[in-house]
Chain A
């Protein structure tokens, strides 16, 4: 089955700096890669996703890049703000089958004021 590795497990950045979280996946058939944000004591929420037919997707300060050849994808947050502090989870699946949605172990991002 699919295996998703996520790094780093913790990340601290100064407010205004950029943050990058990386994930690798093992199943070359995976073609859907969402990212979820979970603030302390709250539910995970989808913040951005990408499909394997594109290499990059942006939404304001958030971007995700995908390298299919190397089987890795990354979340980039620019101009970080304290409210970006949360746990971020990457995931990978073969589109159309969420039962194969495999999550990474999460990254605790702390944005220092």
Chain B
């Protein structure tokens, strides 16, 4: 393990459900990220938190809501998702915005 842990590994949800993805890092990093990975597409940066403040929000729909209560934990709250939101959601952390350490991801399926 690289020190970045994501749960759950797999998630199936209906379009009316509310669920949350969790990420935890034990590397002493000061920045955390959410990325979306879809088949045959580049990794898409969704949110960046530095020192618990959101510093980037790349025009992500409001049905995705991040939360960073401290420098070790990051959540992604999901509600009323669409089938096209099905993807692998990767959390990452870094010290000083370089050399990203990724978690194993949550494979999300929206039915």
Contact = CB atoms under 8 A, between A and B. Distances in A.
B55 interface: yes
Interface majority SS (helix, strand, loop, mixed), chain B: strand
Given A43-B103, A95-B98, A99-B55, 17 more contacts: A9-B40, A34-B98, A34-B99, A34-B100, A36-B102, A43-B102, A43-B105, A46-B99, A89-B43, A96-B96, A98-B33, A98-B94, A103-B43, A104-B42, A105-B41, A106-B40, A106-B42
A42 B94 contact: no
- Using C-beta atoms within 8 Å of the partner chain, give the interface range for chain A: 20 to 34
B56 interface: yes
A32 B98 CA distance: 9
Contacts of B98: 32, 34, 49, 95-96, 98
A99 B90 contact: no
Interface of B: 2, 4, 31, 33, 40-43, 45, 48, 55-56, 90, 94, 96-105
Given A32-B98, A49-B99, A98-B97, A42 B104 contact: yes
Contacts of A106: 40, 42
16 contacts: A32-B98, A34-B98, A43-B4, A43-B104, A43-B105, A44-B100, A44-B102, A46-B101, A95-B98, A98-B33, A98-B94, A98-B97, A98-B100, A99-B45, A102-B42, A104-B42
Interface in A44-79: 44-46, 49
Interface of A: 4, 9, 32, 34, 36, 42-46, 49, 89, 95-99, 101-106
